[in-house]
Amino acid sequence: MYSFPLNGSGGEQPESPLALGAGGILYGATQYGGDTEGGLLQGLGAVFSVTPPTSQGGAWTETVLHSFLDDGDGIGPCCVVLGGNGTLYGIAVEGSSSAGSVWEIRP
């Protein structure tokens, strides 16, 4: 259905179970990749959505919803859960100033 790019801008190493949203949109997290802002050689994880094609046989489209930069949000997001209000929740397994975090994203 979808392959992550080698450059990591869309995320690398998806390890999170997927959450199914409205319209067949899938949500998940990657341990690495995402934005490499601030001179990072490798992103610190990303939360993404993958939207189904508009026509049968078409391409799925990935959107990075949040790139983790260890600026209070943590490193290595996982365990995406979709709340009843459409908000995504999960954890980041570590951080430079913490032993992890709980995050919330409204797509």
Model pLDDT for residues 39-89, shown as the tens digit of each residue: 555 678 999 999 999 999 999 999 999 988 877 788 899 889 999 899 999
What pLDDT does residue 40 have? 54
pLDDT at position 71 is 77
Q: How many CA atoms lie within 13 A of 38 on its CB side?
A: 8
Q: Comparing C-alpha atoms, which of 39, 41, 38 is closest to residue 12?
A: 41
Q: What is the pLDDT of residue 34?
A: 82
Residue 18: other Cβ atoms inside 10 A: 16
Position 60 scores a pLDDT of: 95
- Could you tell me the residue ranges of all domains in the chain? 12-105
Q: Give the model's pLDDT for residue 41.
A: 54
Question: What are 11-49's pLDDT values in tens digits?
Answer: 888 888 999 999 999 999 998 888 766 555 567 899 999
Residues 77 and 68: beta-carbon distance below 8 Å: yes
Question: Which residue has better confidence, 21 or 107?
Answer: 21
> What pTM value is reported for the model?
0.87
Burial category of 20 from C-beta neighbours within 10 Å (exposed 0-12, middle 13-18, buried 19 and up): exposed
